[in-house]
Structure 1
Amino acid sequence: MFSVFVSAPNPDDPIAALELGERPEPEAPDGWTRVEVKAASLNHHDIFSLKGIGLPAERMPMILGTDASGIDEDGNEVLIHSVISSPGWTGDETFDPKRSLLSEVHQGTMAKYVVVPKGNLVAKPAELSFEEAACLPTAWLTAYRMLTNDSRLKPGNTVLIQGASGGVATAAMSIARAIGLRVWVTGRSEEKRQAALGHGAHEVFETGARLPGKVDAAIETVGEATWSHSLRSLRPGGTLVVSGATSGPNPKADLNRVFFLQMRIIGSTMGTRTELEGLLGLCRDTGLRPVINEVLPMSEAKRGFQAMVDGNTAGKFVFTN
């Protein structure tokens, strides 16, 4: 079957590691099922996989992709929850120390078919297209958990979202607006800041700019480049929620500020199946939809990967079969 995959990592030139071609069709073990993929979306996780980050060479070749929507073996329209917990695990899947995402241990979604545990299938609302639904399980679910479970935010509170064009950040803008938050966003370019206004931001600022007031929470996915600004922007007792570090993982801690102003720093990773169902309900009930940069056939996936590597994204890239 035609697939988007990696056979050998390339830390310096991830696009050079990207392969498009034939891979064997997957077989579903006991308790798993096969899904015909209609749409799969691109995430930074896929770029990390090409670099060999979180995906050692001994697990390759590996089909890329964590997100997908499609048709299950019974003909149902489904969405895949991509957090694969270990056998027998109960409770919050994100706390399972042996959990993985699709394309880390098990083959990913950028192919004609993918196999997943039966419990990882979620019914796709008829109101969402396959392309829209495929955007939700990683970046959008991560943003949803950050804004609901982790941040302690209430309607009317102000949230700062660092980075105007990242996948999680773009999702967070739209979700934050939909749940009644005041949304402030930073961006490196005027073009990206203006795009953020269309994605849900109430106000936009240059990266590192002095804000007109303190915020109740900051959503951090950039890391070293924006960490200090996030801490300086928080009110006393405010919350910084971090789920990524695209600019580097080792910022200045500024611990004096953290403990003196009693700030909360919360790490966040993905979300549960229940939270994914909650996100789908929010989309269904409010009309919220993911921002899609471009829909491409799977055979043209390289264009989307290159745009993400170059930082030229303003929403999700979706690949279709």
Structure 2
Amino acid sequence: MRAVVMRARGGPEVLEVADLPVPEPGPKEVRVRLKAAALNHLDVWVRKGVASPKLPLPHVLGADGSGVVDAVGPGVEGFAPGDEVVINPGLSCGRCERCLAGEDNLCPRYQILGEHRHGTYAEYVVLPEANLAPKPKSLSFEEAAAIPLTFLTAWQMVVDKLGVRPGDDVLVMAAGSGVSVAAIQIAKLFGARVIATAGSEDKLRRAKALGADETVNYTHPDWPKEVRRLTGGKGADKVVDHTGALYFEGVIKATANGGRIAIAGASSGYEGTLPFAHVFYRQLSILGSTMASKSRLFPILRFVEEGKLKPVVGQVLPLEAAAEGHRLLEERRVFGKVVLQMG
């Protein structure tokens, strides 16, 4: 099969096209012939060695994908060859206390496809049956591939961690990213007033078109004051953030007393300054978040089918252009998802 492999850590140039053996499904596993795979910033972090630095090489990146079931292993009951599917990228043991409590993303053996095992930058992938869901019929394969990782991450942040309710002022940082594109929509679905930030007027315009009520350019030094102005001096009740060290002090200052901040990444750096007085005196809650339970993909796909949530595909490239896709992500030249087509 054709695949894009990472043979070393480094820039996008370490990604190269290769021929690999087609994997065989084992018991309760399904082989999917991929039609599309979406890129994530996680792929960039793994490529650079920031995430999973001890990962054996060569490696196939890619958490997200959609395609058609090609073969099934012994014991598979829910899928058959020809079924169109979406990949659920969180892998867990399925047996431990956390998994059985529906908290599989806290499983001690938790893995993310493409980070800890070969992923979707390939024509075929083999996964446990539990990691597949039927593809919404209304979506193209490219649109379906753009959903899982970012919508799961955003769902846990907005719904499970922040508990967004009608009337909340929700600040969504970096509106053009895949997670934030999803978070804007999910926060609106739950009745919030959304304030989205971005670094360009084009992205702010697109965020408004997606449903954001207000927008703020976070390249302006006083952007936290603008958030407070838009909330009558109060600040945001809930914050969706993955921007990292560069913007963290601003996020703290833009948050209302008693507010909650969910963090799912650190794009601009992992070591920021935490003004403790703001945290304890203003009683802020800072909540870490990684992915979501696999179960959360089902309501997400239902809302997609109903037209209440929608994937946003910013750029489609052939599989062989994965390196260019990484450059687009790193240079923040895309609003929404970069998707690879398998042909």
Give the structure 1 partner of residue 175 of structure 2.
164
Residue 58 (structure 1) shift: 5.3
1:54 to 47, 51, 54: 51
Among all aligned residue pairs of Structure 1 and Structure 2, give the percentage whose two residues are the same amino acid: 34
Q: Which residue of 2 aligns with 1:4?
A: 4
Query: 2:171, 2:239 within 8 Å by CA — same for their partners in 1?
Result: yes
- CA–CA distance in structure 2, aligned partners of residues 305 and 122 of structure 1: 27
User: Which residue of 1 is the match for residue 283 of structure 2?
Assistant: 262
Q: Higher mean Cα deviation, 193-202 or 309-318? A: 193-202
TM-score normalised by length of structure 1: 0.94
Q: Classify 1:205/1:58 alpha carbon distance in 2 versus 1 (closer, same or farther; 3 Å).
A: closer
- Select between 236-245 and 187-196 the one with higher mean Cα deviation: 187-196
Q: Are the counterparts in 1 of residues 300 and 309 from structure 2 also a CA contact under 8 Å?
A: no
Aligned partner of 1:32 among 26, 29, 32: 29
Q: Distance in 2 between matches of 1:305 and 1:201?
A: 27
The answer to whether the Cα contact below 8 Å between 2:245 and 2:270 also exists between their aligned partners in 1 is yes
Write the distance in 2 (CA, Å) between the matches of 1:253 and 1:57: 29
For the 8 Å contact 2:13–2:323, the answer to whether it is kept is: no
Q: Is the 8 A contact 1:167 1:316 kept in 2?
A: yes
> 1:6–1:19: 8 Å Cα contact kept in structure 2?
yes
Q: Is the 8 A contact 2:197 2:217 kept in 1?
A: yes
CA offsets, 1:52-106, max 9 Å, x none? 2333465111111000111123121111111111363323111112211112332
Are 1:147 and 2:144 counterparts? no
Contact 1:37 1:114 (8 Å CA) reproduced = yes
Alpha-carbon distance change, 128 to 260 in structure 1, aligned in 2, over 3 angstroms = same
1:39 is paired with a residue whose SS is strand
Partner deviation per Cα, 1:116-164 (whole Å, 9 max, x = no partner) = 1111111222122221111111112101111111102102211001113
Matched residue type, 1:231: I
Deviation at 1:261, TM superposition (A): 1.5
Q: Distance in 1 between matches of 2:217 and 2:335?
A: 17
Question: How do 1:243-282 and structure 2 match up within 5 A?
Answer: 243-282=264-303
Does structure 1 retain, via aligned residues, the 8 Å contact 2:263–2:289? Answer: yes
Match of 1:235 among 251, 256, 262: 256
| Paired letter, 2:209 | G
Aligned residues: 318
Unaligned runs of 5+ in 2: 72-79
Residue equivalent to 1:80: 87
- 5+ residue gaps, structure 1, are none
Cα distance in 2, alignment partners of residues 286 and 179 from structure 1: 15
* Deviations, residues 212-237 of structure 1 (Å, cap 9, x unaligned): 22111011110112211211122221
Q: Which residue is equivalent to 2:77?
A: none
Matches within 5 A, 1:1-321: 1-10=1-10, 14-56=11-53, 59-72=56-69, 73=71, 74=80, 75-86=82-93, 88-89=95-96, 90=99, 91=101, 92-207=103-218, 208-209=222-223, 210=225, 211=227, 212=229, 213=231, 214-321=235-342
TM-score w.r.t. length of structure 2: 0.88
* Matched residue type, 1:20: V
How many angstroms apart in 2 are the aligned matches of 1:283 and 1:58? 34
2:75 paired residue number? none
